[in-house]
């Protein structure tokens, strides 16, 4: 599948400069997750609190006044009549049998900002399977099974790949092996994203191995390609996916607050050779303190002055 993809603009505290993901207007952290991600990857104005009923723009007769094609006529008859206007729990999956709780855009806009109960496809796909959304990437209607949603959607073909939603609860989120839970959009996106190794990335086409909250995850790459080692930077995202942003004192000849430095393997000797090639005084230092590295990233280091 080719065309414009639906990238993830996770809410992060970032500085200035080129980005892997566009910034929301008001910055916050992924754990707070108060800003929106839209269908073009642009951050949107932070959403406010959650009510028990989704605000829809229906008039007193039950007709849609917003022009949103995804808002169903109200029927408050419980499971027999559908409950698409009601908020549901993405964690508890508390919809009626044959339905699943899904993130969607309840205002006809381009950002996931609410949840809804949606019918499960008669032949649903599992995580990793191809999928299709109905009408819009943010409609909340797709062909994936319970506990998953269609992700990395091509905006033109409306096709993507099923991805697992986080299970458990927000205090103890659970994901399949090899993935990590990321929460965004005021809690309306709870995604199990693939973990990766920046020294040996195996992300899908169009994705890159990006640092997120102390982990490395496969995300759609929509930023500028990083420059060579020594280029000025404000944070790690200026240097992703090939390296990190080292403080001025850690990189020889750096004349700005930060300069990009490459990743290296501090366990097999290749890292020492790589770093010494940049400057004889540089060493390959572990990214994570001993005993704190995520599984599979124990070898990950970056070049710096000792």
Domain range for residue 280?
236-304
User: Do residue 186 and residue 104 come from a single domain?
Assistant: yes
User: Do residue 154 and residue 41 come from a single domain?
Assistant: yes
User: Which pLDDT belongs to residue 298?
Assistant: 95
User: Do residue 99 and residue 248 come from a single domain?
Assistant: no
Nearest to 63 by CA among 77, 76, 53, 73: 73
Quickly list H helices, the chain.
236-239, 270-278
DSSP 8-state assignment for residue 266: S
Residue after which a domain boundary falls, among 181, 196, 211: 196
User: Do residue 179 and residue 259 come from a single domain?
Assistant: no
**159 in a domain, yes or no?**
yes
**63 in a domain, yes or no?**
no
**231 in a domain, yes or no?**
no
User: Do residue 146 and residue 291 come from a single domain?
Assistant: no
Which tokens sit at 31?
Answer: 């754990």
Q: How many CB atoms lie within 10 A of CB 74?
A: 18
User: Do residue 181 and residue 85 come from a single domain?
Assistant: yes
Residue after which a domain boundary falls, among 139, 167, 196: 196
User: Do residue 81 and residue 187 come from a single domain?
Assistant: yes
User: Which pLDDT belongs to residue 223?
Assistant: 64
User: Do residue 40 and residue 162 come from a single domain?
Assistant: yes
**84 in a domain, yes or no?**
yes
**26 in a domain, yes or no?**
no
User: Do residue 137 and residue 76 come from a single domain?
Assistant: yes
The tens place of each residue's pLDDT in the chain, 306 residues long, gives 344 544 444 322 222 222 223 223 333 333 333 334 555 443 333 333 332 233 333 333 333 434 443 444 334 445 655 455 578 999 999 999 999 999 999 998 888 999 999 999 999 999 999 999 999 999 999 999 999 999 989 999 999 999 999 999 999 999 999 999 999 999 999 999 999 999 998 888 878 898 888 899 998 776 677 778 999 999 888 898 889 999 999 999 999 999 999 999 999 999 999 999 999 999 999 999 999 998 899 999 999 999
**64 in a domain, yes or no?**
no
User: Do residue 191 and residue 274 come from a single domain?
Assistant: no
Residue after which a domain boundary falls, among 142, 174, 196: 196
User: Do residue 138 and residue 246 come from a single domain?
Assistant: no
User: Which pLDDT belongs to residue 19?
Assistant: 26
Strand (E) positions, 185-235?
Answer: 189-194, 207-212, 215-220
On the 0-12 / 13-18 / 19+ scale of CB atoms within 10 A, 244 is buried
Which tokens sit at 197?
Answer: 């190794």
User: Which pLDDT belongs to residue 95?
Assistant: 94
Total of domains in the chain: 2
User: Do residue 77 and residue 185 come from a single domain?
Assistant: yes
**150 in a domain, yes or no?**
yes
Angle at 46 between CA 43 and CA 50, to 5 degrees: 130
Which tokens sit at 120?
Answer: 């499960």
Tokens 């500085």, residue located: 15
Q: Could you give the 3-state DSSP secondary structure of residue 151?
A: strand
**229 in a domain, yes or no?**
no
């Amino acid at each position: 599948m080719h065309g414009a993809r639906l990238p993830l603009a996770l809410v992060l505290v970032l500085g200035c400069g080129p980005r892997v993901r566009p910034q929301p207007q008001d910055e916050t952290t992924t754990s707070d997750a108060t800003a929106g991600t839209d269908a073009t990857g642009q951050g949107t104005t932070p959403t406010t609190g959650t009510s028990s009923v989704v605000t829809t723009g229906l008039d007193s007769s039950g007709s849609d006044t917003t022009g949103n094609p995804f808002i169903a006529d109200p029927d408050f008859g419980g499971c027999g009549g559908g409950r698409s206007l009601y908020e549901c729990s993405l964690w508890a999956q508390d919809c009626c049998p044959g339905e699943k709780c899904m993130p969607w855009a309840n205002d006809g806009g381009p950002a996931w900002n609410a949840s809804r109960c949606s019918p499960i496809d008669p032949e649903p796909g599992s995580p990793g399977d191809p999928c299709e959304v109905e009408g819009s990437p943010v409609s909340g209607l797709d062909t994936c099974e319970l506990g998953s949603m269609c992700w990395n959607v091509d905006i033109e073909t409306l096709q993507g790949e099923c991805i697992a939603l986080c299970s458990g609860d927000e205090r103890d989120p659970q994901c399949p092996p090899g993935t990590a839970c990321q929460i965004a959009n005021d809690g309306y996106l709870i995604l199990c994203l693939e973990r990766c190794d920046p020294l040996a990335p195996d992300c899908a086409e169009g994705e890159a191995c990006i640092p997120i909250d102390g982990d490395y995850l496969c995300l759609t790459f929509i930023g500028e390609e990083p420059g060579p080692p020594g280029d000025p930077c404000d944070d790690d995202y200026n240097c992703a996916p090939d390296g990190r942003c080292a403080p001025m004192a850690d990189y020889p000849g750096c004349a700005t607050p930060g300069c990009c430095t490459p990743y290296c393997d501090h366990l097999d000797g290749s890292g020492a050779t790589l770093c010494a090639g940049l400057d004889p005084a540089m060493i390959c230092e572990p990214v994570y303190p001993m005993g704190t590295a995520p599984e599979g990233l124990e070898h990950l280091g970056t070049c710096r002055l000792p």
